[in-house]
Chain A
Amino acid sequence: MNSLPPPLVVDNLSFRYRDRQGAAIHNLSFTANAGEVLLIAGASGCGKTTLIRCINGLVPRSYKGEMTGKVLVFGEEVADWKLSQISQKIGTVLQDPERQILGTKVVNEVAFGLENLGMTREEIYSRVDEALNFLKISHLRNRETFSLSGGEKQKVALAGILAMRPSIVLLDEPLASLDPASAQDTLDAVRLLADQGLSILMVEHRVEDVLRIKPERVMFMSEGEIRYLGTVSGLSKVVNYREVKLPAEDIFERARADPAPVEIKVLPGVANSQDRQEALVRFENVAFGYESDLEILHGINLEIHRGDVVAVLGPNGAGKTTFVKHAIGLLRPKTGRVFVGGRDTHDSSVAEIAGMLGYVFQSPSHMLFAPTVREELAFGPANMKHSKQQIEQEVKEALKIVNLSEKENDPPLALSFGQQKRVSIAAILAMRSRILVMDEPTAGQDYQNYMNFMDSILQMPGFEAIIFITHDVDLAAIYANRVLMISDGRLIADGKPQDVLRDFDRLKANRIIPTSLLALNLKRLPETGRFMRAEALAHV
């Protein structure tokens, strides 16, 4: 009896984009089996997304360039297939669920591909219900897609793919915008699909999260090539633990052989000054709601002091962003008061508050607009009516701190994502804001990039305190010296990371999943007295 050919064979595949120099991927060869989860990891720009596009047919149909080698699906070469044919064998879930959901209602979204294939309505309804049932989201069937949470959106997107009954599912960073519990839900659904016999290829930075669903194999890519392909246990032996986020125990073991990491000097701008006690920001019984009858924040009381590095944790929709917007004056409390630098925000303009607090949004493309980096940085200070010489000085210093002096005349939108992120920080530095506020500072960056980014921000002179919103509990554990946990608009915990993050039941109740680093830190806490990164723990 002849055995069925494997679902996917990639044979000596290379591709170069038409408008770029150098191949994005070189000579990739591997096979994906039925019923397995193949995790694909690697830094930004390593060619993961290009590989996905070559498999799902977007390369060379939508993205032109030179392609050599073959992609075989069940033994047949897909180069001559129509996209409609490919889409019935290979389903793709993209990174941002917001932009791949096309239907206004869930049922229409899941049906979209089937409608395009011109199936009968009976067949479409039956497949839609089957996909929704399989993912246990039938209750969402008639909801508006815009009102879904990130995790629900990602599952609806997955249902839209499943309805087309593919044999292979490609997932391109499906967890990027999800909170830990939603990520876990999505991963469980993915495992279920593999267990049903589908072949899953998942590109993801959050390696440690994916390891929980026990992927059969891991591929590690670097500069367009496969550096490792094999079992999970072999991965930690071949890759650098600074490039990929491995489980804390693995880093701990590996780092013992290396020299101890250099301890970073947090907020060097904060001298051991006397005025540490004076609050930079003070919330007094703050309550807020967009509509009169619906309160989003209730009774928030807290102070932010010099030297505070504050991580704000909490589930999606808990009120984290609303809280931060009060500090920067974008929102004013309905009752209670917020004081910034001793002044009530009711009596200050947002521009005045910007001198004290600077807010960096998740995506730099939401704020960058100027033709040159210099003009981008001068925008804030000019709005604040600083003098010309003063602005020149501020821009120069800010550029120096973020190490972008040589990019002064470049258009910010032409820089890499990491550089854009640094420009957005410099824009705040140039305003001489004393407190840096960041929303999901690590979003869209790979592990090595975001760790370097956080290291450099914490060591920047010029800031007196830092506040960041995050879903990443490890980021809070490593970098913060104070953790605020917000749930249902209330401040339910405020304290040192080792005090707030030790209560695993509370974390789980707030959609935060304890990590291996957290567990390791708690185990070693009697010796260390504080939380630290795994490689530092190895040298205590």
Chain B
Amino acid sequence: MLVAWRYRKRENSFIQSFDPRAWVIFFGCFLFSTLTFWDVRFLLFFFGIALFSLFTSGVKWHEVRFAFLFILGVVFFFAILTFLTGRGGSEVYKEEHLIREFRASFSILGWTPVLKVTVERAFYAVSQLVRVSSMAVMTILIPYSLNPALYGITFKGLGLPDKFAYAMDLTMRFVPTFGRDFQLTMDAQRARGYELEKISGGLVAQVRKLGPIVVPVTIHAIISSEDIIDAMDLRAFGVGPRTWLDVLTYQFRDRVLIAFGVFVLVVSITLGVLGYGKFWVPEALLNLY
């Protein structure tokens, strides 16, 4: 099946021992705190939290293998791209200490590609890698750990209105249905000789060639949404404040987690305001070059 829920109840999972609201709040604090820093020493603290969450989550490697390879592949790609071009990092450091310069033995239209390996670029790539990986690990864990059936009540519990919170539930409910519709359309068009993998041409041409998939899937979604709206209206959705059948209750450990998240966020912002945590390169390394 194209769409399968990644969530399941896991034995001894650290994440799952918390109320989902508490984890979402902690996750939010974690993300904002991580974004405050470029200093790899600070970032390692967050990376440590992310690794701890991963190894105690009860998620098996074979379940997350593809997601991880994909995300880490993207993270590596961008880190290396920044390293090669030197762009992106120039906002956080002013001067560069050259380790070595590689000059290509050829020229293209008078331009000779040059690769400058500097201490700053190298450290920037490392910092970027640690920073983004920390956030990626924490984000990947969410669909594997939080019960989609509780998304609605989780957001309701975080103070969002009924309609918005229920929309979260509804999205979770219909993702597999739309996944199935997508697969049907894909099969129907493949049976007419359509080969998605052989799409070529410029960007506009490529998007246009997605029409045979995108149009039927969209039309189907629109037709379906009419029925879904009818079904909701017919059962009095939105007439007043609703009762949520599932109940979430904060335990002591949930309060501790939230307090810890908020504490980390406050400390991070304070450090940021005081000027700590900016891009850092070891002094000793700079002295070598």
Contacts and interface: CB of A to CB of B under 8 A. Distances in A.
B96 interface: no
A124 B245 contact: yes
Contacts of A101: 173, 231
Nearest to B210: A369
A351 B173 CA distance: 34
Contacts of A103: 169, 173
A368 B240 CA distance: 40
Nearest to B215: A369
A124 B244 CA distance: 10
A56 interface: yes
Contact of B245 (A94, A121, A146, A349): A121
A354 B192 contact: yes
B284 interface: no
A350 B177 contact: no
A442 interface: no
A334 to B, nearest CB: 17
Interface in B187-211: 187-195, 211
B215 A328 contact: no
Contacts of A365: 216, 219-220, 223
A370 B230 CA distance: 29
Interface in A366-415: 366-370, 379-380, 383-384, 413
A361 B192 CA distance: 11
Interface in B1-16: 1, 5
Interface in B223-253: 223-224, 227-247
A112 interface: yes
A105 interface: yes
B245 A379 contact: no
Interface in A63-121: 82-84, 87-88, 91-92, 94, 96, 98-105, 107-108, 111-121
Contacts of A111: 245
Contact of A325 (B187, B216, B230, B243): B187
Contact of A62 (B1, B233, B235, B240): B233
A367 B195 contact: no
Given A366-B181, A379-B212, A116 B242 contact: yes
Contact of A99 (B231, B233, B239, B241): B231
B193 A431 contact: yes
B234 A56 contact: yes
Given A84-B239, A104-B169, A367-B185, A431 B223 contact: no
Contacts of A57: 234
A525 interface: no
A367 B230 contact: no
Contacts of B148: 104
A354 B233 contact: no
Contacts of A325: 187
Given A104-B148, A427-B192, A366 B185 contact: yes
Contact of B235 (A87, A119, A121, A330): A87
A164 interface: yes
A108 B187 contact: no
Given A99-B224, A107-B245, A325-B187, A349 B219 contact: no
Contacts of A413: 219
B86 interface: no
A62 B229 contact: yes
A299 B238 CA distance: 53
B234 A83 contact: yes
Contact of B191 (A92, A114, A144, A350): A350
Contacts of A330: 187, 190-191
Interface string B157-194: 00000000000011011001100010011011111111
B204 to A, nearest CB: 17
B228 to A, nearest CB: 6
A44 interface: no
Interface residues of A, number: 69
Chain B binding surface SS class: helix
Nearest to A328: B191
A61 interface: yes
A102 B173 contact: yes
B149 interface: yes
A145 interface: yes
Contacts of B229: 62
Given A330-B187, A361-B188, A367-B216, A58 B234 contact: yes
Given A104-B172, A105-B149, A369-B211, A58 B243 contact: no
Contact of B188 (A112, A120, A366, A384): A366
Contacts of B224: 99
Contact of A120 (B233, B238, B243): B243
A359 interface: yes
A379 B191 contact: no
B169 to A, nearest CB: 7
A428 B188 CA distance: 11
Nearest to B182: A366
A116 B187 contact: no
Nearest to A361: B188
Contacts of A489: none
A114 B243 contact: yes
A319 interface: no
B246 A83 contact: no
Interface string A13-49: 0000000000000000000000000000000000000
B195 A351 contact: yes
A119 B193 contact: no
A441 interface: no
Contacts of A62: 229-230, 233
Contacts of B223: 365
Interface string A141-174: 0001110000000000000110010000000000
B161 to A, nearest CB: 14
A144 B241 CA distance: 26
A115 B192 contact: no
Contacts of A144: 5
B176 to A, nearest CB: 5
B152 to A, nearest CB: 9
A102 B237 CA distance: 11
B243 A121 contact: yes
Contacts of A428: 192
A115 B191 contact: no
Interface of B: 1, 5, 148-149, 169-170, 172-173, 176-177, 181, 184-185, 187-195, 211-212, 214-216, 219-220, 223-224, 227-247
11 contacts: A99-B231, A102-B169, A105-B149, A116-B239, A118-B240, A121-B247, A125-B245, A365-B223, A366-B188, A368-B219, A370-B211
Given A144-B5, A369-B215, 19 more contacts: A56-B234, A57-B234, A62-B230, A91-B234, A94-B231, A100-B228, A102-B169, A102-B170, A102-B228, A107-B245, A116-B236, A118-B241, A350-B190, A350-B193, A361-B188, A369-B212, A379-B212, A383-B194, A427-B192
Cβ-closest 4 pairs across A and B: A383-B193, A351-B193, A113-B235, A369-B215
